[in-house]
């Protein structure tokens, strides 16, 4: 019993340290991008703390700082293919800052949140509009004629093509966020079937080659499990 407790304590400490490291790295890049536009450090810190507060709420089991860190890793993998990496990075930071809305306006409210912060911080208006559009693209994950949008959406969806163990953790965390809602399984089945019906889950060749095959296996297995219950 004592050994089990110590193991859990070590795991909890390790996770807490990893989250702290993720937060520090994300903040450093956020500040690096925005400092040249003239906002004072106190304002930058205040805006960042509002972002952290949003992503560390008690219901944030998946859509949290760990999710941002994973998104960041995939965004860096295609950095050289992006025309405006900095705006894509900021869109990543803000894309799920508002979640758990009851009217399906998560993306709309997250984009509006980003608009307010970035205007306040002096980010150029055309880039703010670009950030807004990238966040809104995560509402449907549809293909776009814009290359940056396709890379951005693919990076957000890369979790679908994770190894089976990581995918199972993702599914468990998503379920925790929604609790025991009787509508969850039905809604989840619709979403999964929608993904399987797509010609391509990933719009760019980079992400398609890396993740498409495994993503379809993961989704089909989860769908079968839900249908069996």
Distance between CA atoms of residues 66 and 173, nearest Å:
11
The radius of gyration of the chain from alpha carbons, rounded to an integer in Å, stands at: 18
Q: How far apart are CA 78 and CA 72, in angstroms?
A: 10
Mean pLDDT of 61-82: 97
Q: Cα separation of 133 and 99, whole Å?
A: 17
Confidence at residue 1, expressed as pLDDT on a 0 to 100 scale: 55
Residue-wise pLDDT for 120-155, tens only, equals 999 999 999 999 999 999 998 889 999 999 999 999
Q: Which pair of tokens denotes residue 67?
A: 């999710």
Q: How confident is the model at residue 176 (pLDDT cuts 50, 70, 90)?
A: very high
Q: Which residue has the higher pLDDT, 153 or 185?
A: 153
What is the 3 state secondary structure string of the chain?
CHHHHHHHHHHHHHHHHHHHHHHHHHHHHHHHHHHHHCCCHHHHHHHHHHHHHHHCCCCCCCCCHHHHHHHHHHHHHCHHHCCCHHHHHHHHHHCCCCCCCCCCCHHHHHHHHHHHHHHHCCCCHHHHHHHHHHHHHCCCCCCCCCHHHHHHHHHHHHHHHCCHHHHHHHHHHHHHHHCCCCCHHHHHHHHHHHHHHCCCCCCCHHHHHHHHHHHHHHHHHHHHHHHHC
For the beta carbon of residue 83, count every other beta carbon within 10 angstroms: 11
- Are 55 and 64 in contact, with CB atoms under 8 Å apart? yes
Instruction: Give the residue carrying structure tokens 């795991």.
Output: 11
**Top-confidence residue, 184 or 91:** 91
Average pLDDT over residues 105-134: 98
Q: Which domains does the chain carry? A: 19-228 (1.10.1300.10)
CA atoms within 13 A on the CB side of 182: 0
CA gap 83, 61 in Å, rounded: 32
In percent, how much of the chain has pLDDT > 90? 81
Q: What is the pLDDT of residues 45-68, one digit of tens each?
A: 999 999 999 999 999 999 999 999
Note the pLDDT of residue 102.
84
């Amino acid at each position: 019993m004592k050994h089990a407790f110590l193991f859990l304590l070590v795991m909890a400490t390790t996770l807490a340290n990893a989250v702290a490291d993720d937060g520090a790295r994300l903040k450093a890049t956020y500040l690096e991008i925005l400092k040249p536009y003239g906002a004072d450090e106190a304002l930058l810190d205040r805006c960042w703390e509002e972002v952290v507060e949003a992503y560390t709420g008690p219901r944030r089991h998946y859509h949290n700082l760990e999710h941002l860190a994973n998104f960041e890793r995939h965004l860096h993998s295609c950095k050289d293919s992006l025309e405006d990496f900095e705006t894509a990075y900021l869109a990543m930071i803000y894309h799920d800052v508002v979640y758990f809305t009851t009217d399906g306006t998560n993306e709309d409210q997250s984009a509006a949140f980003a608009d307010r912060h970035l205007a306040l911080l002096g980010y150029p208006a055309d880039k703010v509009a670009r950030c807004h559009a990238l966040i809104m693209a995560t509402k449907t994950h549809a293909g776009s004629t814009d290359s940056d949008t396709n890379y951005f959406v693919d990076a957000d969806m890369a979790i679908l093509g994770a190894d089976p163990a990581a995918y199972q953790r993702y599914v468990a965390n998503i379920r925790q966020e929604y609790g025991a809602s009787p509508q969850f399984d039905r809604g989840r089945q619709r979403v999964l079937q929608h993904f399987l019906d797509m010609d391509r889950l990933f719009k760019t060749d980079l992400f398609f080659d890396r993740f498409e095959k495994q993503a379809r296996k993961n989704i089909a297995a989860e769908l079968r499990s839900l249908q069996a219950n």
